[in-house]
Amino acid sequence: ELKVEQNPLFLSMQEGKNYTIYCNYSTTSDRLYWYRQDPGKSLESLFVLLSNGAVKQEGRLMASLDTKARLSTLHITAAVHDLSATYFCAVDVAGTASKLTFGTGTRLQVTL
Amino acid sequence: DAGITQSPRHKVTETGTPVTLRCHQTENHRYMYWYRQDPGHGLRLIHYSYGVKDTDKGEVSDGYSVSRSKTEDFLLTLESATSSQTSVYFCAIKALAGINEQFFGPGTRLTVL
C-alpha cells in the first residue's frame, strides 16, 4: 500500500523567511503533484513533476523531485502572507488506473 | 476552472437517509473521481470512473455507490448516511492523457446528524 507522508504538518513562519516542506512516499514513482488549498476552498494544482530531478518554480515556490530517495520538496523563498494555505503532495503510481494518493497536508501560516 | 460543478454545495441530513451528490463537467473528460476530505487524513479516494458505466472502488468505498450514465455526470450516493460520513466531498477530473494531474470541483459540505 502506497503511503505518502508530509512534514511538517503545521508550519508557522515569518514573512521574509525561507522554509521547505517535505513529501516522502513509500513506493517507486516518478510522478508527483503539488496542490494548494485555501481555507474553505477547493484544491488548486501548483506543480506537476514527471521525472527524477524535475524542478519547477512559480514565484516564491519551487518544487523538486528525487525519485531515488522517494522525496519531493516544496521550497518557499522569502515567504509572504498570501502564501498562507494548506499544501498537499500527491503521488501517482504507474498501473494504478490514474489514481492519486495524497499526503495529509502541510498547513502553512505566514505571519507579518 | 475545469468546468466542474458540484451540487448541492451544502447539505444537512439525518442518519439513515439516502443522499446523492452530483458532479457535472462540461469538457467531456473521461476520468472522474470522488474524494472525501477530513482533518488529519488529507484527501481519500472513494470511487472513480474511467468512462460511461465504468467505475471502480477507491480506498474508502464502503457505504458509498456511484453511477455514471452520461460522460458529464458522476453521481455519488450514500445509501444510508451515517455520522462518520460527515465530510467535505470533492469531485475531480483528469484532463490530460498520460498525466494524472487532477482538477477539482468546489466541494460539497455534508453534515449527517
pLDDT per position as a tens digit, B69-105: 999 999 999 999 999 999 999 999 998 777 888 999 9
pLDDT per position as a tens digit, B19-61: 999 999 999 999 999 999 998 888 999 999 999 999 999 999 9
Q: What is residue A9's predicted lDDT score, i.e. its pLDDT?
A: 95
- B4-112 CATH: 2.60.40.10
Q: For the sheet containing B64-70, what is the strand order? A: B4-7, B19-25, B73-78, B64-70
Cβ partners under 8 Å of residue B107, min gap 6 = A41, A42, B6, B9, B37, B88, B89, B90
Closest among A40, A60, A34, A64 to A52, alpha carbons compared: A64
**Local confidence band at B4 (pLDDT 50, 70, 90 cut-offs):** very high
Indicate the pairing of strand B73-78 with strand B108-112.
unpaired
Distances (CA, A) of A101 to A82, A92, B12, B42, B50: 27, 7, 28, 9, 17
The domain total for chain A is 1
Residue with cell 484544491: A43
SS3 category, A83: helix
CATH of the domain at A22: 2.60.40.10
Residue-by-residue pLDDT tens, chain A, 112 positions: 889 999 999 999 999 999 999 999 998 887 899 999 999 999 999 999 988 889 999 999 999 999 999 999 999 999 999 999 999 999 987 666 678 999 999 999 999 8
SS3 category, B107: coil
A56 touches A49 (CB < 8 A): yes
Chain B residues whose beta carbon lies within 8 Å of the beta carbon of residue A10: none
Q: What is residue B41's predicted lDDT score, i.e. its pLDDT?
A: 85
Nearest CB partner across the interface for B41, out of A33, A45, A104: A104
Residue A30 carries which DSSP code?
S
Q: What is residue A96's predicted lDDT score, i.e. its pLDDT?
A: 61
Q: What is residue A79's predicted lDDT score, i.e. its pLDDT?
A: 94
Mutate to test the interface with B, among A37, A102, A107 (most CBs of B within 10 A): A102
Indicate the pairing of strand B64-70 with strand B73-78.
antiparallel
Structural domain of A73:
4-111
Residue of A nearest to B47 (CA): A99
A101 touches A89 (CB < 8 A): no
